[in-house]
């Protein structure tokens, strides 16, 4: 039943970012190095490469084996829904996968601030997208404690980073 609802929601959802042609997306990405909306609405899997010590401490020292993959977005609210895989976090038959909600800020053209609601952490975490090339990696910084996260886009091959 849940699978059916997800399929229906995916078919009904309308996304301006998803409607962009590859050429339009590339053109917009060339004009900005930190547009979180363009980054997170591209249908890619992201792999966590690095977290600073502050971030590990803040999240209980969880293992650094994490990835997230895009499910769906709602343009009107700038909310994105991602699958979230994190080794060492408990799942079961009722909740076989974890989900991550990402809210992109709606003020301004840059849209570099995002809120993550992790499945294992009660409060939303406010992050700023410092840099992305939209193809190989991106860097997020937690606003309240300056902890850094470096994510790879589409691969764990670090030799792709220039």
- Quick check: is 13 in a domain? no
- Quick check: is 145 in a domain? yes
Asked whether the predicted pLDDT for residue 134 surpasses 80, the reply is yes
- Quick check: is 4 in a domain? no
Question: Among 9-23, 75-89, 142-156, which is the least confidently predicted range?
Answer: 9-23
- Quick check: is 6 in a domain? no
- Asked if residues 9 and 3 have their Cβ atoms less than 8 Å apart, the reply is no
Beta strands in the chain (DSSP E): 45-51, 66-74, 79-86, 98-104, 113-117, 125-132, 137-142, 148-153
- Quick check: is 3 in a domain? no
Per the structure, the count of domains in the chain is 1
Mean pLDDT of 114-127: 72
- Quick check: is 9 in a domain? no
What's the pLDDT tens digit per position in 83-110?
Answer: 666 555 555 555 556 666 777 776 555 5
Asked whether the predicted pLDDT for residue 161 surpasses 60, the reply is yes
- Asked if residues 159 and 148 have their Cβ atoms less than 8 Å apart, the reply is no
- Quick check: is 138 in a domain? yes
Find the domain containing 58 and state its range. 20-160
Q: With 0-12 CB in 10 A as exposed, 13-18 as middle and 19+ as buried, what is 159? A: exposed
Q: Is the pTM of this model over 0.85?
A: no
- Asked if residues 100 and 82 have their Cβ atoms less than 8 Å apart, the reply is yes
Work out the pLDDT band at 137, boundaries 50, 70, 90.
very high
Question: Among 17-21, 46-50, 83-87, 139-143, which is the least confidently predicted range?
Answer: 83-87
What's the pLDDT tens digit per position in 26-56?
Answer: 888 888 888 887 887 888 888 888 888 665 5
| Whole-angstrom distance, CA of residue 48 vs CA of residue 66 | 5
CATH code, 24: 2.40.128.20
Alpha-carbon distance values, 85 to 47, 56, 67, 114 (Å): 10, 16, 5, 19
- Quick check: is 12 in a domain? no
Work out the pLDDT band at 158, boundaries 50, 70, 90.
confident
């Amino acid at each position: 039943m849940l699978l059916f609802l997800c399929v229906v929601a995916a078919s009904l959802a309308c996304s301006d970012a998803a409607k962009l042609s590859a050429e339009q997306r590339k053109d917009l990405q060339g004009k900005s190095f930190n547009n979180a909306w363009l980054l997170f609405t591209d249908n890619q899997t992201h792999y966590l490469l690095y977290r600073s010590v502050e971030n590990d401490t803040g999240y209980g020292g969880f293992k650094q084996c994490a990835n997230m993959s895009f499910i769906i977005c709602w343009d009107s609210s700038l909310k994105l829904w991602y699958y979230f895989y994190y080794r060492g976090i408990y799942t079961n038959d009722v909740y076989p996968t974890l989900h991550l909600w990402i809210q992109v800020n709606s003020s301004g053209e840059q849209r570099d601030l995002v809120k993550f609601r992790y499945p294992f952490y009660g409060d939303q975490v406010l992050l700023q997208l410092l840099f992305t090339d939209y193809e190989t990696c991106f860097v997020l910084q937690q606003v309240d404690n300056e902890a850094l996260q470096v994510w790879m886009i589409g691969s764990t091959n670090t030799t792709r980073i220039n």
